Amino acid sequence: MVQLSTLVRDIHRLNHQLERFEQRYSMLSTTFYEAYSAGMEPGDDAWVLDFEKWAGLYEVWRDRQRVYEETIQHIRRQQPSLFKVVRPVMA
C-alpha cells in the first residue's frame, strides 16, 4: 500500500502543474478535461502538445486522488480514528 505522505506529495505536485495550465488557458482542469475527452479541438495548433500534457497530468491526478481515497478507507477500516495514524513528515 502506498504511504499517505507519498500520495499527498504527489497530489500537491500535480495540483501545482495543473494550476499552471489553468492560469495559462483561463479554464479549470475539470472543464478542460471534459471538453478534451469529448474530442473538442484546441483553438490553436500550437496548443496541441500543451493539451496532451494537461490531459495526461489530469488523468494521473485523478488516479492519485482515487488511490488516496482508497487508502484512507482502508485505514478507517483498520483504525476508526484517523488522528491516531497521522504523523508529521520530517523534511
- Predicted pLDDT at 88: 72
pLDDT digits (tens, 9 = 90+) for 52-68: 999 999 999 999 999 99
pTM for the model stands at 0.85
How high is the mean pLDDT of the chain?
91
Largest CA distance in the chain: 52
- Predicted pLDDT at 1: 64
Assign 10 a pLDDT band (cuts: 50, 70, 90). very high
State the DSSP string of 17-65.
Answer: HHHHHHHHHTS-HHHHHHHHHTTPPPSSGGGHHHHHHHHHHHHHHHHHH
